[in-house]
Structure formats: C-alpha cells, structure tokens
C-alpha cells in the first residue's frame, strides 16, 4: 500500500490535523474538511435485485474508482463499513474482491477504528438510561410498559430477537418483553450517516423517541438526559475514515446502515468530503435499485446529501438467469432464453433510476462461464431499456485495467447531465408516500395495512413527523415476497409494523416477514476465520 499520508496529500488534506490509526488509516476531523468551487461529479452504484450469492456491487464500485484513475481522472471512493454480523455469518467481507478491494481489508472488516462499537455503546447506553428513568418514575406517566427503544448487537444472534428483561424480582425491575436489532439497523447508525456536523448530531440524538407516556405523548432522548453521554461516545465516530483501494486511490469508509432494513448508504459527511477533494466520486447504495438506490435519493439526498450526476446499475449473467427461473447450481450452463426472461429485472432497475432523473450506465460484472452470446444479448437489451452506456466490468480479475471502458462510459454519462427528481414531496401524507412506492417502485397492486398500522401512522402525523419512508423488506425481490423473481406485478405489499426514527427523520415500514436481527446460517463464515499464531495474520475473511 501507499503511505496513507500520500493518499491524504492527494486530497489536499492538512496532514498535521489528521488522526492516524496505525500506519494505514486516518480519522479526518470535520474541521479539516476543505471546500471547492468545483465539486466533483458523484456516481452512485446500484444493481439489479440481487441473488443470494450477490452481484459484486462493492467490487464494481472499487474497480470503477481504480478504472477512473487509469484513464487519468482524480477519483475518490466512499463506501460503507461492513457489519461484523454478515462478516462472520453468510455474506462475508464488504471490501470488494479480487484485485478490486479497499485496504487494509482485514481491519475494515473487523473492528476498524471502533465506529460500530461506539454506536452500539451509545445505543445501549440510551436503553439503560431509558429503563432507569421508567423504573424510577422520573418522567410523569412514563412506565416500563411504554418503552419502545430496543437494544442492539453486532452479532447475528437469533436468540436475542425477542427477550424478557427485568427477571429477578422488584429490586431488578418489572418484567417486560423487548428485543435486540442488529447494530446496522440502529437509529443511531442512521443518524450518524445523515448528520451534517456535531450540532446536527446533537439535535438528531435529542429527537430520538424511546417510548410513550400513558397519555400517548412521545418520550425523547433529551428528556432521558442521555444526549451528552451519547455525544461523548460518538465524538470520534462522526469523523470519516481514510483508507485506499488496492491501487492506491483514496477510499473514505464510513458508517454502515443495512440496505434492506435501514437506508443502506455511507455517510453524508463522507460524500461531502469526497466531492470537495476529488474530480469523480464513486459511492455505493445497498442492494438493488428498489432499495438502496431509492433510499439514497429519497432519504439521503433529500436530507442534504450531494446530488448524483449518474448511476451505474450492476448486473451479472448469473443474476439474470436467476431472475429468469434458474437455480444457482444451473448458473454455469449457457441459457440465452433465461437471460432474456430475467432481463425484465434489469429493465425495471433502469426504469427506477431514470425515474429519479439520472443517466444510467449498465456494468456487466463478468464471470468466467458467461458466454459471448449471453453478454451480447445483455448489451443489446440494456441499450433498448434506456441505458446511455453498457460495458463489461472485469475489476475482480484485472483491477483498474479491466474497468477503463466502464470508467469512460461513466465520464460520458456525467457529461449528459442529470435532472434530479424525488419520488414524493416531504409534506405529502404518509399513506400517499407508501402507496406511490408500492405501485411505482415495486409493481404492487395494493397495500395491505396490518393491525394498528393505520392508527400508528396517524399518531405519527399528529406529532408532525412528516418524514420520508424507509421501507424494510426483502432484498431478494422487488416485492416483499423473496420467492417472486424478475419484475413481478399485481402483488400485495403487506405493511406489518411502523417505527418512527425521529432523529434520523424517517419512518420505517416493515413489509412482510422482515427480520431486524439476522441469525447465523448452518455453515457460517466464522468457521473459516482464524488467526495464524506464528505470523499474526487473520485468515478466512477476504475473497480471492
């Protein structure tokens, strides 16, 4: 790797103001952020609806950054921090793969600079202080039964999804049911990804709703008097982290809300830093265009994130075969008709991105068993579907050298210009927002409202919470049913529960059987992760 001080110098950052973490990463204080009269072009990388195996979106984003450097541009990558749960569970590391990775990859995938630990500590500190306030009757009408603030863990531990606390008698506390979510779904994680500075962070933390009084008035973190303690715990976590790609380009790695149950984007402060220090900024939105990209636009951009100039939709031949009805074990056999059928999902992803006013470039993430006929068909269809460019992405095998055609296509797309639009106005009724999302994004025929959801929505509106909607649903389908592949229409979107994130300024709608704390698979990645006692090398995390 290049000396991290040289990477920082490329961005024009004042080295004496940066905070080193070891020899290969910096924390960047917000006071050290430069400004620019000519901000960079921002490119958001999204994808088709992924298969269980994933489509290589992170690898493509890293490779594109390297490819832009190869054609003489000054790129910066902004990418999310991986969560320990998926790293040790099924998904594995989140730093790209092959010759398109962010380094130091092992550190980033594990404890990194401690940001996730700080968020988990702040979240659970608020939980403890909320329990204490209710137990001691410090707020009139606020009892333990009114607490809604759950705890979080970064382990995929299904046993903690629903728990009973207060066991042990009156001196311990009243018995009540609660549960844990994964740290990436914490409202504090969402707040950290959306906050503009410490003043904004304090305001957002103060607005967190931790429960309700017996008279149905919200109780906020400011009333619990927990904001100061949380600010202290989160001081360093708000500072973005500077690392580098395998080929030495700057990579700002910061925050990691999940894309299916949270808003799925890296932080606004990371993007703000990047667009003021580079020429082209590549960022990634979680999962497919119907999830991460939509949230990138309707939540992150709406709340002050830089507007993108273009979007890249990542697709794979095997992913289109999956959406065309084949199973993963059949991916290695050429099947042009399955690709053609599954391409309806690619068409839908392009449609969604164009709905927001962005030019689209399709990246075909190449695998060795993709046939020439299959690739040629996707190139033809992508243009017919409205993409301004379509190129093969070979970043995994070739690094930046295999991404130059895609990089040039992205530069050309940025020159086309964007007319950024959002799906709805912030002050539109909540029900209108959900109905529009259901029909225009997911192809649903109707919305099915679960018990108490309409009442809950009206209560939220009565409190003035006119926030964007963060839809929590499966990432494996455009619908809320993971079994529906392709681009299904005419289905029902079932809304089971609503949660207000007043600090993150969004309302989470849980659609279908969504789980906010994953469980470990039967063969977790943790089985393969180990430490070499002699060399100190950690093995089993990275793709090769």
For every one of its 544 residues, what pLDDT tens digit does the chain have, with 9 covering 90 and above?
Answer: 999 999 999 999 999 999 999 999 999 999 999 999 999 999 999 999 998 878 899 999 999 999 999 999 999 999 999 999 888 887 778 899 999 999 999 999 999 999 999 999 999 999 999 999 999 999 999 999 999 999 999 999 999 999 999 998 877 878 899 999 999 999 999 999 999 999 999 999 999 999 999 999 999 999 999 999 999 999 999 999 999 999 999 999 999 998 888 899 999 999 999 999 999 999 999 899 999 999 999 999 999 999 999 999 999 999 999 999 998 888 889 999 999 999 999 999 999 999 999 999 999 999 999 999 999 999 999 999 999 999 999 999 999 999 999 999 999 999 998 999 999 999 999 999 999 999 999 999 999 999 999 999 999 999 999 999 999 999 999 999 999 999 999 999 999 999 999 999 999 999 998 889 999 989 998 999 999 999 999 998 875 4
Which residues touch 16 (CB under 8 Å, ≥6 apart)? Answer: none
> Is 536 part of a structural domain of the chain?
no
CA 469/CA 291 separation, integer angstroms: 11
Same domain, 221 and 303: no
| pLDDT score, position 544 | 42
Which residues touch 534 (CB under 8 Å, ≥6 apart)? Answer: none
321: closest CA among 374, 363, 366, 382?
A: 374
Q: For residues 44 and 268, is the Cβ–Cβ distance under 8 A? A: no
My answer on whether omega of the bond before 12 falls inside 30° of 0, hence cis, is: no
54: closest CA among 520, 517, 475, 398?
A: 475
Computed over its alpha carbons, how large is the radius of gyration of the chain?
Answer: 23
Q: For residues 34 and 272, is the Cβ–Cβ distance under 8 A? A: no
The CATH number linked to 481 is: 3.10.410.10
Strands 469-472 and 506-511: parallel
In whole angstroms, how far apart are CA 420 and each of 128, 259, 415, 432, 449? Answer: 42, 21, 14, 21, 31
Q: For residues 124 and 153, is the Cβ–Cβ distance under 8 A? A: no
Q: For residues 470 and 193, is the Cβ–Cβ distance under 8 A? A: no
DSSP SS3 for 441: coil
Q: For residues 434 and 447, is the Cβ–Cβ distance under 8 A? A: yes
Q: How many CA atoms lie within 13 A of 223 on its CB side?
A: 21
Alpha helices (H) in 237-332, listed in sequence order: 268-275, 294-295, 317-323
Q: For residues 509 and 469, is the Cβ–Cβ distance under 8 A? A: yes
pTM, two decimal places: 0.95
Same domain, 153 and 284: no
83: closest CA among 162, 206, 182?
A: 182
Burial class of residue 371 in the structure, from the number of CB atoms within 10 Å of its CB (0-12 exposed, 13-18 middle, 19+ buried): middle
| pLDDT score, position 119 | 97
CA 358/CA 335 separation, integer angstroms: 31
Altogether, the residues listed in the chain come to a count of 544
Q: Write down the residue that tokens 């530069």 correspond to.
A: 411
- Give one word for 335, left, alpha or beta, with left for phi > 0 and alpha for psi -120 to 50: beta
Same domain, 126 and 211: yes
The CATH number linked to 169 is: 3.30.1510.10
> Is 519 part of a structural domain of the chain?
no
Burial class of residue 96 in the structure, from the number of CB atoms within 10 Å of its CB (0-12 exposed, 13-18 middle, 19+ buried): buried
CA 193/CA 147 separation, integer angstroms: 25
CA 261/CA 271 separation, integer angstroms: 22
Same domain, 319 and 191: no
Element (H, E) at 471: strand 469-472
- 245 pairs with which residues across the strands? 102
In whole angstroms, how far apart are CA 257 and each of 192, 323, 439? Answer: 9, 26, 25
| pLDDT score, position 168 | 86
In the DSSP assignment, the letter for residue 209 is: E
Same domain, 100 and 127: no
> Is 310 part of a structural domain of the chain?
yes
| pLDDT score, position 169 | 81
Same domain, 358 and 283: yes
Same domain, 134 and 222: yes
Same domain, 178 and 195: yes
DSSP SS3 for 198: helix
Same domain, 224 and 133: yes
Q: Note the maximum CA span of the chain.
A: 71
> Is 224 part of a structural domain of the chain?
yes
Same domain, 224 and 282: no
Q: Write down the residue that tokens 């912030």 correspond to.
A: 426
> Is 32 part of a structural domain of the chain?
yes
> Is 424 part of a structural domain of the chain?
no
Q: For residues 396 and 99, is the Cβ–Cβ distance under 8 A? A: yes
Instruction: Domain count for the chain, please give it.
Output: 3
CA 314/CA 293 separation, integer angstroms: 12
Same domain, 507 and 456: yes
Strand order in the sheet with 444-449: 444-449, 491-501, 506-511, 469-472
The CATH number linked to 88 is: 3.40.50.300
DSSP codes of every residue in 73-94: --EEEEEPPPPHHHHHSSS---
Same domain, 287 and 358: yes
Structural domain that includes position 442: 430-511
> Is 25 part of a structural domain of the chain?
yes
Q: For residues 122 and 128, is the Cβ–Cβ distance under 8 A? A: no
Q: For residues 117 and 149, is the Cβ–Cβ distance under 8 A? A: no
CA 508/CA 249 separation, integer angstroms: 36
- Dihedral angle of Cα 118, 191, 46, 272, to the nearest 10 degrees: -90
Boundary-marking domain end, from 369, 392, 416: 416
DSSP codes of every residue in 392-410: EE-HHHHGGGGSHHHHHHH
> Is 535 part of a structural domain of the chain?
no
96: closest CA among 62, 65, 121?
A: 62
Q: Write down the residue that tokens 């110098």 correspond to.
A: 9
CA 409/CA 77 separation, integer angstroms: 17
């Amino acid at each position: 790797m290049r000396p991290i001080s040289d990477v920082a110098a490329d961005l024009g950052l004042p080295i004496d103001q940066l905070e080193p973490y070891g020899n290969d990463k910096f924390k960047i204080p917000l006071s050290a952020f430069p400004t620019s009269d000519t901000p960079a072009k921002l490119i958001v990388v999204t994808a088709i609806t992924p298969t269980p195996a994933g489509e290589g979106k992170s690898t493509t984003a890293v490779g594109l950054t390297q490819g832009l450097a190869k054609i003489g541009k000054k790129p910066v990558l902004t990418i999310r921090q991986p969560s320990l749960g998926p790293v040790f569970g099924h998904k594995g590391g989140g730093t790209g793969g092959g010759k398109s990775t962010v380094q130091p990859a092992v550190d980033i995938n594990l404890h990194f600079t401690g940001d996730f630990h700080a968020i988990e500590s702040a979240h659970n500190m608020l939980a403890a202080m909320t329990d204490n306030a209710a137990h001691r009757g410090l707020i009139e009408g606020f009892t333990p039964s009114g607490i809604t603030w759950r705890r979080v863990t970064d382990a995929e531990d299904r046993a903690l999804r629903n728990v009973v606390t207060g066991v042990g008698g009156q001196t311990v506390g009243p018995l009540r049911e609660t549960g844990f979510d994964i740290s990436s779904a914490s409202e504090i994680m969402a707040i950290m990804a959306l906050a503009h500075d410490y003043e904004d962070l304090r305001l957002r933390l103060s607005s967190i709703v931790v429960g309700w009084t017996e008279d149905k008035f919200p109780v906020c973190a400011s009333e619990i008097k927990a904001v100061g303690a949380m600010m202290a715990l989160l001081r360093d976590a708000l500072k973005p982290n500077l690392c580098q790609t395998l080929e030495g380009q700057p990579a700002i790695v910061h925050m990691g809300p999940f894309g299916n149950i949270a808003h799925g984007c890296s932080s606004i402060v990371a993007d703000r830093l990047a667009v003021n220090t580079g020429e082209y900024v590549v960022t990634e939105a979680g999962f497919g265009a119907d999830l991460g990209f939509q949230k990138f636009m309707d939540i992150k951009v709406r709340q002050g994130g830089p507007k993108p100039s273009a979007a890249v939709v990542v697709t794979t031949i095997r992913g289109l075969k999956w959406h065309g009805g084949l199973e993963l074990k059949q991916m290695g056999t050429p099947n042009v008709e399955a690709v053609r059928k599954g391409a309806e999902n690619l068409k839908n992803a392009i449609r969604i991105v164009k709905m927001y006013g962005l030019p689209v470039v399709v990246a075909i993430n190449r695998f060795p068993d993709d046939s020439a006929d299959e690739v040629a068909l996707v190139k033809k269809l992508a243009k017919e579907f409205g993409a301004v460019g379509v190129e093969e992405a070979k970043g995994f095998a070739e690094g930046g050298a295999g991404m130059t055609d895609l990089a040039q296509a992205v530069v050309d797309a940025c020159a086309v210009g964007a007319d950024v639009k959002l799906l709805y106005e912030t002050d539109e009724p909540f029900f209108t927002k959900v109905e529009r999302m259901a029909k225009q994004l997911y192809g649903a025929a109707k919305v099915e409202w679960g018990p108490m959801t309409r009442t809950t929505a009206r209560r939220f509106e009565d409190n003035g919470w006119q926030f964007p909607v963060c839809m929590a649903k499966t990432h494996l389908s455009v619908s809320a049913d993971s079994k529906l592949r392709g681009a299904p229409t005419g289905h029902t979107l079932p809304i089971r529960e609503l949660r207000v994130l007043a600090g993150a300024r969004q309302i989470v709608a849980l659609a279908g059987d969504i789980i906010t704390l994953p469980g470990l698979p039967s063969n977790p990645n943790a089985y393969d992760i180990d430490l070499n006692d002699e060399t100190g090398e950690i093995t089993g995390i990275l793709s090769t």
